Amino acid sequence: METNRQKKIAGVLQKDLVDVLQGAAREGMKGVLISVTKVRVTSDLGEAKIFLSVFPSEKREQLLKGITSNTATIRHEMARRTKNQLRRMPQLLFYGDDSLDYIDSIDNALKGREDNPIENPDILNKRKKK
């Protein structure tokens, strides 16, 4: 259960991260869209998990590596931007958000572009019984 404080900090981080990351993407990678889909802050406010959606999705891994290797710089810029709102900048952990790929695969399956799991149940991931 997230507290209001966690939600507020997540909102502040999300808003400023969009500016920082999109600015960096404009300089380094033309034609790539980055959106911050979710920010989750731990209860001790020491860590923020940031989920990024990247278009085109083929660039996701490359972009995540670049962002992860520049986390210290990004964190410093975020601290500068939020110094009046946050006492301490949490550690930033970046993750790729593949929910758009998932939605796209469902959409394609529904439109008949991919194998239909109802007609061919072998394409579904098998659940492991506990």
In tens, the pLDDT along 59-84 reads 788 888 888 888 999 999 999 998 88
Residue-wise pLDDT for 109-122, tens only, equals 777 766 666 777 77
Q: How many Å apart are CA 39 and CA 10, to the nearest integer? A: 5
Check residue 91 and give its pLDDT: 94
What integer pLDDT is reported at residue 98 of this predicted model?
78
- Domains of the chain with CATH codes: 4-97 (3.30.300.20), 99-130 (no CATH)
Contact 5, 46 (CB under 8 A): no
Instruction: Please tell me the predicted confidence (pLDDT) of residue 48.
Output: 94
CA–CA separation, 90 and 87 (whole Å): 10
Please tell me which residue, 66 or 32, carries the higher pLDDT value. 66
Query: Is the pTM higher than 0.85?
Result: no
Tell me whether the omega of the peptide bond preceding residue 90 falls within 30 degrees of 0, making it cis: no
| Helices and strands of the chain, counted as H and E runs | 4, 3
Rounded distance, CA 54 to CA 100, Å?
A: 9
pLDDT for 14 beyond 80: yes
